[in-house]
Structure 1
Amino acid sequence: MDMAQSDFHSRLIGWLKILLPLVALGILSTLFLVARTIDPDNAIPYADVDVEDRLREPRMTAPNYAGLTADGAALTIRADEARPASDSGTRASALALSGVLETPDGGRTELLAGAGQIDPGARRILLTDGVTIRSSTGWQVQGENLTAAMDTTDIEMPDAVTATGPAGVVTADSLRLTQAGDGEDSYLLVFNGAVKLVYAPAN
């Protein structure tokens, strides 16, 4: 009886050694035979980006610039999209900009603009297509264009501006924000040209 069981066991092992590799080959061949042909057009898209357009006109998405001015103010500029300067002389530009200037005296000024350019040679940023400035003092200023220095606190709006704040509404031909120059950490906002104030006293 023991010999019969041993003989059966040996035969079973022998058959399994033949059958199992055949079954494995059958499974593998079935996988290859029924697998769908890969269509490159149906590949998973990693990003909805026009590669040829990006090569022709390089750009960055959501760039961020941060720096410290010589007088200690922190300047941060962000944009939805930015394009580098070109060999033809076109300046670096950006769309939908927002910026924050935080001065050592605790003041905070926020900048919003539809578009802008950076002039590295002049160390200045030009904001265009509608500019809004919001100050921590409660003032909001709106104009068409703005220039800002990248290495010192010097912000200028050379065109007509409208400012709304705690004292009322101010209109002017231009304005400029600079360091006061008295050796203290204070800043001076000056309205120039035909300045008009509509005073609204607090209740």
Structure 2
Amino acid sequence: MDRYSRVVSYLKVALPLAALALLSTLFLISRTINTDPSIPFADFELENRLRGQQVTTPFFTGTTATGQEITIAATKALPGGGGEGASASDLEAEILTTEGRRILMLSDSGSIRPDQDSAILMGNVRILTPDGTRVETERLNAQLSGLEVISPGAVTAEGPMGDFSAGTMRIFTDSKNAPVHIEFTEGVKLVYDPAKVER
């Protein structure tokens, strides 16, 4: 056997052994793998999630019998208990009228009861209308199947004509495809501002 053949024979044995030695050193000097990583939640978040089920960014959408589209969204919702409906926080409700106008309603909290055809917005309720009127109250009771939104308590508002207040407010429509009305009753007081009207 010549010298070249002997070298090839040695390399056939030496190279696989060298490869095995390299692989074994990779495993020996590799970093230790952490098999128990920390969960990316704070302790209080885990406690809150375990305490009760919740749904994040829920929404409800539908069309009333009079043709308006209603959408209600929230940051999170918690299931109801003891006969009470689901509660939600940071509610945002929008009514799209048949004329293409949008009425936006915002509140800190509320509840939705499709089985009772009702939704309630509570706490720092704000209503924004297309003509620039902003209404504030503490509670709104809304019917889901028809357009009937009532504020049982006092409201304050500012709009194109000036600032005003009233004992109650009602958003409604008389019939299908009819215009949507906002009605203020019980001790309405208006501070008329001509400068606003001129603008």
Q: If the length of structure 1 is used for normalisation, what is the TM-score?
A: 0.85
SS in 1 for 2:75: strand
SS in 2 for 1:72: coil
Among 175, 190, 194, the alignment partner of 1:197 is 190
Q: In 2 relative to 1, CA 14–67 (structure 1 residues): closer, same or farther, beyond 3 Å?
A: farther
One-letter code of the match for 1:127?
Answer: L
Uncovered stretches (5+) of structure 1, i.e. residues with no partner: none
1:61 offset after TM fit, Å?
1.9
Uncovered stretches (5+) of structure 2, i.e. residues with no partner: none
1:185 offset after TM fit, Å?
1.9
Equivalent position of 1:138 in the other structure: 132
CA distance in 2, matches of 1:187, 1:174: 17
1:120 offset after TM fit, Å?
2.3
Percent identical residues: 37
CA distance in 1, matches of 2:47, 2:12: 57
CA distance in 2, matches of 1:25, 1:184: 81
Among 71, 78, 84, the alignment partner of 2:73 is 78
SS in 2 for 1:145: strand
CA distance in 2, matches of 1:163, 1:185: 24
One-letter code of the match for 2:187?
Answer: A
Tell me, yes or no, if structure 1 residue 14 matches structure 2 residue 9: yes
Tell me, yes or no, if structure 1 residue 96 matches structure 2 residue 56: no
CA distance in 1, matches of 2:6, 2:146: 92
Q: Aligned Cα RMSD in Å?
A: 2.2
Q: In 2 relative to 1, CA 55–44 (structure 1 residues): closer, same or farther, beyond 3 Å?
A: closer
Q: In 2 relative to 1, CA 185–34 (structure 1 residues): closer, same or farther, beyond 3 Å?
A: same
Residue correspondences, number: 194
Q: If the length of structure 2 is used for normalisation, what is the TM-score?
A: 0.86
Which of 1 and 2 has higher RCO (CA within 8 Å, sep 6+)?
Answer: 2
